[in-house]
Amino acid sequence: MSLIDNENIYTTPITTLGEFGLIDRLTKNFTPSNSKTVKAIGDDCAVIDRGDVFELLSTDMLVEGVHFDLAYVPLKHLGYKSIAVNVSDICAMNGKPTHVIISLAVSNRFSVEALEEFYLGVELACKKYNVDLAGGDTTSSTSGMVINVSVIGEVDKDKITYRNGANVNDLLVVTGDLGAAYFGLQVLQREKDIFKDNPKVQPDLSGHDYALSRQLKPEAPVKYLKILEELSIVPTSMIDISDGLSSEALHIAKSSKVSVCLHEEKIPIDYTIMNAGTEFKLNPISCALSGGEDYELLFTIDQKDYEKLKKDPDFTIVGYVSDPSEENSFIASDGSSHKLIAQGWDSTQD
């Protein structure tokens, strides 16, 4: 008999809660006690009062076999992506990144040269986003590679943007285009499967340059914050699109205690992805709603700011915020209304 009877007390599968339900349950009893803690759990970053500015803190973990596959992800690209996706969290708070800390767990199948290749990508991203590598840790792993990146940033107190600031009648806006990263993943997985069946067949990645770049080397949405600053727009709420448009829109709705409405015909999708949909038997709109890893921004603005950005091709108004008594909805291109649900990727699933 074991010292602890695990069978009787540990019975709830993680999959019954999902990633965010699990976080809510594990942290429900934690209440900030430090007077400098402005925001702890529940947004893209924690927020600490440092006097003149707010300090932003976030962390993210990437696990081989769950978040990346080294069969088709170059280590240099992986290093770059590890930094970019964390900088994206800082952007979601309308802030600027300053430092990153990286911890690695690797098995003995990785050589020194392989890790140097990974850090070449890290170095390129740090230079791109003007952040300093401030430390980290390394340890062994029984199998595969685990990457943990913590990022630190700052934001002026009058420009901080949370998920919970959306107001009824605000407009929902996205940057760039959506769905391409998921298509890139499908291309890579298809070619891997073909190679496994016939190692003599060379990968055919032609015609998918944009989708592959969005998957293998995503860029943090730093440039959009500069544009918003030039336009004198401070969003009322904001989140980065890592798990799909629908999931992120529902996060804003829940945090802000409002409802949201998305319009299919407004969702921006690159023309190459629209054309590739038939090849992969995938609906590009579904990929934008649920595919994830786009690392664009979803934010809300007061209607008075509409005139400032309506002609800027970097921004697309995809819907609006409505009264919380209404249902979160998705208006299809044929005019029919449907309940908006989140079907994005969930890291707690098998």
pLDDT, one tens digit per residue, over 245-270 is: 999 999 999 999 999 999 999 999 99
Residues 338-346, mean pLDDT to the nearest whole number: 72
pTM for the predicted model, two decimal places: 0.91
Question: Is the pLDDT assigned to residue 128 strictly greater than 50?
Answer: yes
Model confidence at 205, pLDDT cuts 50, 70, 90, reads: confident
Beta bridge partners, 316, equal 174
Question: In this prediction, what percent of the chain has a pLDDT beyond 70?
Answer: 95
What is the structure's pLDDT at 344? 46
Is residue 171 within 8 Å of 303, Cβ to Cβ? yes
46 contacts: CB under 8 Å, gap ≥ 6: 37, 39, 40, 56, 57, 58
Task: Please tell me the distance from the alpha carbon of residue 23 to that of residue 43, in angstroms, as a whole number.
Answer: 12
Q: Confirm if 44 and 92 have CB atoms less than 8 A apart.
A: yes
Q: Region 284-310: what's the mean pLDDT?
A: 96
Q: Is pLDDT at 198 greater than 90 in this prediction?
A: no
pLDDT at 165: 97
**Token code pair at residue 342:** 């989140």
* Partners of 37 in beta bridges: 48
pLDDT tens sequence across 33-89: 788 999 988 889 999 999 999 999 999 999 999 999 999 999 999 999 999 999 999
| Residue-averaged pLDDT of the chain | 92
Quick one: average pLDDT of 198-219? 89
Q: How far is CA 337 from CA 163, 319, 333, 334, in A?
A: 25, 13, 9, 9
For the beta carbon of residue 20, count every other beta carbon within 10 angstroms. 17
Q: Which residue has the higher pLDDT, 231 or 27?
A: 231
pLDDT band at 279 (very low <50, low <70, confident <90, very high): confident
Q: Which helix (H) or strand (E) holds 32?
A: none
Q: With pLDDT > 90 as the criterion, what percentage of the chain qualifies?
A: 78
Distance CA 138, CA 64 (A): 16
What pLDDT is recorded for position 203? Answer: 78
What was the pLDDT predicted at 345? Answer: 39
Confidence of residue 31 (pLDDT cuts 50, 70, 90): confident
User: What whole-number distance in Å separates Cα of residue 164 and Cα of residue 20?
Assistant: 16
Q: 345: how many CB neighbours lie within 10 A of its CB?
A: 17
In this model, does residue 144 exceed pLDDT 70? yes
How many residues appear in the chain?
350
> Minimal CA–CA distance to 151: which of 84, 217, 218, 94?
84
Separation between Cα atoms, residue 151 and residue 85, nearest integer Å: 10
Rounded average pLDDT over 135-145? 94
State the chain's maximal CA–CA distance in angstroms.
70
Domains of the chain: 37-156 (3.30.1330.10), 163-339 (3.90.650.10)
| 254: Cα separation from own chain's centroid | 17
Q: How confident is the model at residue 7 (pLDDT cuts 50, 70, 90)?
A: low
Q: What does the pLDDT read at residue 6?
A: 56
Cα 47 to Cα 193: distance, rounded to the nearest angstrom: 44
Angle in degrees, 0-180, between the axes of helices 75-91 and 112-129, rounded to the nearest 10:
30
Tell me the two tokens of residue 67.
Answer: 């978040």
User: Looking at per-residue confidence, does 121 or 197 come out higher?
Assistant: 121
Cα–Cα distance for residue pair 250/64, rounded to 1 Å: 28
Q: Which three-class secondary structure state does DSSP give residue 58?
A: strand
CA distance 235 to 160: 9
Other CB atoms within 10 Å distance of the CB of residue 305: 20
Residue type, 177: D
d(CA 136, CA 157): 29
Q: Between the ranges 2-6, 33-37, 161-165, where is the mean pLDDT highest?
A: 161-165
CA distance linking residue 19 with residue 23, whole number of Å: 6
Give, as one character, the DSSP assignment of residue 321: E
The rounded distance, in Å, linking the Cα atoms of 180 and 211 is: 5
Strand pairing category for 145-156 and 337-339: unpaired
Per-range mean pLDDT, top range of 39-43, 87-91, 185-189, 308-312: 87-91
